[in-house]
């Protein structure tokens, strides 16, 4: 069984273009002449410090031990879960499911060279490099968004001011002292517990080690964070940055960009199910959001107004597949060509988990009253998508070795009719170039862990009845 490419992205520089594809714990860089330029594997890197990890785990209190064996398995080969490229196409940032943010430089021959790995306190779920090409924005499942310098610099002993996330708890006495006193505790059982604590003298404080690299906590949700994006607007000839964050509890929050990320400008509210992806429409003030609702929201985000709901449930049920519940797994902006005048256009592409189709709509018709999605059926469920020049490369959940895991499409926009439609055609030429990447050997993999890796979005849906223990799943 072959392991599909769970994330793909691309780099375009003066030297041409290159596809980066993550397969389990490996990242391949594939030049568009068909050769594999480099192959990087997360396994090798982790072995060097796995001993250190073990030490740490031994010290853990008894209560946490039930998670320890699970971590050990994961640590064996951390899968790549996110892959992004800096705007200047010089660096690649990957998240692996051992909570590490890994930064790579790319050389002229598109070979990856790992510069740093920084283990975050919680597993990151969204990442991007800001337009300054120097800062990483990294959000984790626990709802916190951090900024990290792209090129890591360790914190020196005397330079603690750099860690500007104020953590009043960081300065803890070395001996444990119960913060409750006989005056605060009321119930009999609590009093007993306190007495026990008082008897146990000189317990060493179990405070978490502070992160050893420069980072800054910008903002946070109590709800589970699912996606974030950085937007800029020009006002009075000055660029203003905004951080837009989305969470499982139906919020889209718009905060100011650093250094004023503590100011919340507003919320785009209206979703009634989880939000899993948000996507800015370039050249406009529009933001598209999707998740568990039957529709995608088109927001005018600077004024927090919902301009339109795009029915996507109808498009999904039109496929006749079993899964008709919406679980948006991706929103992208893809290039296209106008069929009449050959002018460049852009198309919004949406995918839903376990649904073998792309749902396309020309961005210029997003607000047109009767525009609907064009459904492009594909052989298997899409996993990730990237664009090189005017082509769209697609990673499919293809687990047999005889069918390609990567496909290429060209999109055209037909606006001649009353309704603007999108046409898609396979690009055979590019696909032959991808043949080698498609054939590249992959690690053995079981069905179940692979499904867990690829499909997590539908699980965000809340169960109507009992209260789901969120905290445990997030840990």
Partner 1 sequence: MAGPPQKKQKREEKQKDGELPQKKYYRQRAHANPFSDHDLKYPESPAAMDWAQHYPAFAEPQSANSDAIATPRAMTKQVQVADIGCGFGGLLFALAPRMPETLILGLEIRTSVTEYVQEKAKALRVQHSVAGADESASKAVVAQHENATANPQHGLYQNVSCLRANTMKFLPNFFHKHQLSKIFLCFPDPHFKARKHKARIVSLTLASEYAYVLQPQGRVYTITDVEDLHHWMVGHFAAHPSFERVAKEEEEGEKEDECVSVMRTETEEGKKVERNKGKKFVAVFTRIEDPEWP
> Is residue 298 a contact partner of residue 351, using CB atoms and an 8 Å limit?
no
What does the CA dihedral 362, 267, 255, 168 come to, rounded to 10 degrees?
-140
Nearer to partner 1, 418 or 466 (CB): 466
Q: Give the range of 48-56, 98-106, 233-241, 411-419 binding partner 1 by CB under 8 A.
A: 233-241
| Residue 403 within binding range of partner 1, rule CB under 8 A | no
Contact between 221 and partner 1 per CB under 8 A:
yes
Tokens of 200: 């146990």
The DSSP annotation for 7-18 comes to: EEEEEEETTEEE
- Alpha carbon dihedral 93, 95, 101, 103, in 10-degree steps, equals -20
Beta strands in 353-415 (DSSP E): 357-362, 374-377, 382-388, 391-396, 406-414
Contact pick of 209, 369, 370, 471 for partner 1 (by CB under 8 A): 471
Applying CB under 8 A, which part among 17-25, 28-36, 202-210, 337-345 lies near partner 1?
202-210
Question: CB-wise, 197 or 371, nearer to partner 1?
Answer: 197
**161 scored as a contact of partner 1 (CB under 8 A):** no
Burial class, 240, CB count within 10 angstroms (exposed 0-12 / middle 13-18 / buried 19+): middle
Transcribe 343-358 into DSSP letters.
-EEEEEEEEETT--EE
Structure tokens at 67: 């998670």
Which residue in 186, 189, 199, 444 binds partner 1 (CB under 8 A)? 186
By CB under 8 A, tell whether 151 contacts partner 1. Answer: no
User: Taking a C-beta distance cutoff of 8 angstroms, is the pair 257, 242 a contact?
Assistant: yes
CA separation (Å) from 92 to 95, 105, 180, 274, 333? 10, 6, 48, 29, 20
C-alpha 32/C-alpha 434 separation (Å) is 7
Which one of 48, 174, 179, 202 is in contact with partner 1 (CB under 8 A)?
Answer: 179
DSSP β-bridge partners for residue 396: 382
Dist. CA 105–CA 55, nearest whole Å? 31
Nearer to partner 1, 214 or 265 (CB): 265
C-beta of 88: minimal distance to partner 1 in Å?
23
Per CB under 8 A, contacts with partner 1 among 238-277 are 238, 240, 249-251, 253, 255-256, 259-260, 262-264, 266-267, 269-272
For partner 1, what does the binding mask look like between residues 411 and 450, x meaning CB under 8 A?
----------------------------------------
Give the nearest distance from C-beta 408 to partner 1 in angstroms: 40
- DSSP secondary structure letters along 264-290: EEEEE---SS-EEEEEE-TTSSEEEEE
Interface size with partner 1, residues (CB under 8 A): 53
Tell the smallest beta-carbon distance from residue 326 to partner 1 (Å). Answer: 17
Query: Is 223 a residue that touches partner 1 (CB under 8 A)?
Result: yes
Q: Is residue 166 a contact point for partner 1 (CB under 8 A)?
A: yes
Q: Does 220 interact with partner 1 (rule: CB under 8 A)?
A: yes
For partner 1, which is the closer residue by CB, 107 or 195? 195
> Residue 71 is encoded by which pair of tokens?
């971590």
Determine if 184 is a binding residue for partner 1 (CB under 8 A). Answer: yes
Q: How far is the CB of 323 from partner 1 (least distance, A)?
A: 23
Q: Does 237 sit near partner 1 (CB under 8 A)?
A: no
Residue 173 touches partner 1, criterion: CB under 8 A:
no
* Cis amide leading into 259 (omega within 30): yes
Q: Which of 180, 192, 203, 435 binds partner 1 (CB under 8 A)?
A: 180
465 sits near partner 1 (criterion: CB under 8 A) = yes
Which span (123-131, 182-190, 395-403, 424-432) binds partner 1, by CB under 8 A? Answer: 182-190
Tokens read off for 253: 């929050």
Question: For the purposes of burial, counting CB atoms within 10 Å of the CB of 36, is it exposed (0-12), middle (13-18) or buried (19 or more)?
Answer: middle
Please identify which residue in 24, 124, 139, 143 interacts with partner 1, judged by CB under 8 A.
143
Interface residues with partner 1 (CB under 8 A) are: 142-144, 165-166, 168-169, 178-181, 183-184, 186, 206-208, 217, 219-223, 235, 238, 240, 249-251, 253, 255-256, 259-260, 262-264, 266-267, 269-272, 462-465, 467-471, 474
């Amino acid at each position: 069984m072959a392991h599909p490419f769970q994330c793909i992205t691309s780099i375009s520089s003066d030297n041409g273009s290159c596809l980066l594809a993550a397969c389990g714990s490996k990242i391949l860089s594939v030049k568009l002449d068909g050769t594999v330029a480099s192959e990087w594997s997360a396994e090798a890197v982790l072995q060097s410090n796995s001993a250190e990890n073990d030490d740490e785990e031994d010290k853990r209190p008894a209560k946490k031990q039930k998670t320890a064996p699970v971590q050990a398995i994961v640590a064996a080969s951390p899968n790549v879960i996110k892959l992004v490229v800096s705007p200047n196409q010089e660096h690649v940032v990957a998240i692996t499911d051992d909570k590490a943010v890994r930064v790579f430089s790319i050389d002229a021959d598109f070979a990856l060279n790992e510069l740093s790995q920084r283990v975050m306190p919680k597993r990151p779920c969204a990442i991007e490099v800001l337009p300054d090409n120097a800062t990483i924005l990294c959000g984790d499942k626990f709802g916190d968004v951090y900024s990290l310098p792209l090129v890591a610099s360790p914190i020196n002993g005397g330079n603690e001011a750099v860690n500007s996330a104020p953590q009043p708890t960081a300065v803890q006495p070395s001996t444990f002292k119960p913060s409750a006193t006989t005056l605060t505790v009321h119930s009999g059982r609590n009093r007993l517990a306190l007495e026990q604590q008082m008897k146990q003298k000189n317990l060493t404080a179990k405070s978490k080690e502070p992160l050893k690299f420069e980072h800054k906590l910008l903002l946070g949700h109590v709800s589970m964070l699912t996606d974030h994006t950085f937007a800029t607007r020009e006002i009075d000839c000055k660029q203003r940055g905004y951080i837009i964050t989305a969470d499982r509890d139906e919020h889209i929050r718009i905060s100011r960009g650093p250094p004023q990320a503590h100011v919340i400008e507003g919320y785009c509210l209206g979703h009634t199910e989880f939000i899993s992806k948000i996507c800015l429409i370039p050249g406009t003030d529009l933001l598209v959001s999707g998740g568990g609702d039957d529709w995608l929201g088109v927001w005018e985000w600077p004024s927090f107004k919902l301009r339109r709901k795009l029915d996507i449930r109808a498009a999904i049920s039109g496929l006749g597949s079993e899964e008709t519940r919406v679980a948006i797994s991706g929103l992208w902006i893809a290039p296209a060509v106008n069929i009449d005048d050959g002018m460049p256009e852009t198309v919004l592409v949406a995918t839903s988990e376990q649904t073998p189709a792309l749902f396309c709509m020309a961005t210029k018709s997003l607000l047109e009253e009767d525009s609907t999605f064009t459904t492009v059926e594909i052989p298997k469920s899409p996993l990730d998508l990237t664009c090189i020049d005017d082509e769209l490369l697609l990673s499919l959940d293809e687990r047999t070795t005889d069918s390609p895991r990567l496909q290429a499409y060209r999109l055209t926009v037909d606006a001649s009719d009353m309704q603007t439609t999108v046409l898609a055609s396979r690009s055979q030429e590019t696909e032959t170039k991808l043949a080698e990447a498609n054939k590249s050997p992959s690690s053995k993999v079981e069905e179940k862990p692979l499904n867990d890796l690829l499909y997590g979005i539908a699980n965000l849906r809340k169960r109507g009845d009992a209260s789901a223990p969120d905290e445990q799943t997030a840990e």
